[in-house]
């Protein structure tokens, strides 16, 4: 049944009345996502797009609508508090799209969420899509900023630190007729809520997911940890791509977490760990779909 979100998942949008949040809420509604509430402090009582009630607080929205997932489109200085407000309201899954949240704020969020039943995806991520059965897979659940029309309901689970490379993997698997079970952008910040390993475990248990594309990049050790687990525990074929092969040490490349520090987090080390786990490695982004297809 895919992972984390389904077509009937009830979603609320924090920051729904902002330009960016509003734009992507409309796209999610067009896709068929069950957006049941929006939250903007001071604007409670309004109605977004003639159908979505706006509340002043997440707790009120949850009590009135039964929403279980929140998407955060709140500006960086306030996004940390927005995440914690959703946690306090008992939201099961928070998808933080916001880029540029101060690291100190995310440290506080991580510490506060320790032991919580809420899962955080992101921040600085494109979100999550579980495609539906309709035309261009509409009727599914789109949370975030991913283009819905490139998705096709199918059997490939996609997990990635990069937004644009997520879209590339999705489009390639759509063109190959494989489609996707669920696609998740986990974000490229140094402190995030959900890792490659977390998602691999969920995909491995999901009967609709028959194969996996994992996209990583320089910095940190998340890909190596996921590879070590997959070597002994994952029963499904995995294709991977690591971005940043030519990146110089000590220079941040794009994402805040994409930096080789202390000689660790290099692309070569990650590829070595993936290869040791029997994971097929695409040498360029253009080969991600083809690399998986060869495994199948």
Q: Which residues are annotated as catalytic? A: 255
- Answer yes or no: are the C-beta atoms of 242 and 281 closer than 8 Å: yes
């Amino acid at each position: 049944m895919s992972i984390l979100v389904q077509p009937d998942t009830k979603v609320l949008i924090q920051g729904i009345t902002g330009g960016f949040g509003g734009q992507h809420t409309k796209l999610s509604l067009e896709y068929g996502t069950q957006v049941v509430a929006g939250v903007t402090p001071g604007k409670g009582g309004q109605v977004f797009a003639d159908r979505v009630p706006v509340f002043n607080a997440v707790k009120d929205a949850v009590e009135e609508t039964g929403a279980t997932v929140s998407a955060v489109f709140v500006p960086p200085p306030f996004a940390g508090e927005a995440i914690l407000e959703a946690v306090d309201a008992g939201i099961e899954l928070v998808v933080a799209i916001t880029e540029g949240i101060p690291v100190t704020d995310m440290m506080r969020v991580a510490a506060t969420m320790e032991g919580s039943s809420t899962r955080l995806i992101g921040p600085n991520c494109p979100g999550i899509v579980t495609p539906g059965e309709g035309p261009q897979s509409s009727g599914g659940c789109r949370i975030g900023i991913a283009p819905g029309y490139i998705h096709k309901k199918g059997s490939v689970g996609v997990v990635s630190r990069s937004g644009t490379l997520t879209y590339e993997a999705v489009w390639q698997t759509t063109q190959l007729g494989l489609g996707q079970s669920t696609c998740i952008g986990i974000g490229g910040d140094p402190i995030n809520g959900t890792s490659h390993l977390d998602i691999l475990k969920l995909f491995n248990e999901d009967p609709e997911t028959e194969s996996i594309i994992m996209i990583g990049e320089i910095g940190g050790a998340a890909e190596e940890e996921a590879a070590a687990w997959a070597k002994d525990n994952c029963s499904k074929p995995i294709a991977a791509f690591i971005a940043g092969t030519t990146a110089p040490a000590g220079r941040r490349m794009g994402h805040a977490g994409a930096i080789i520090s202390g000689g660790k987090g290099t692309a070569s080390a990650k590829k070595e760990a993936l290869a040791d786990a029997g994971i097929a490695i695409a040498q360029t982004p253009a080969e991600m779909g083809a690399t998986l297809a060869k495994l199948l």
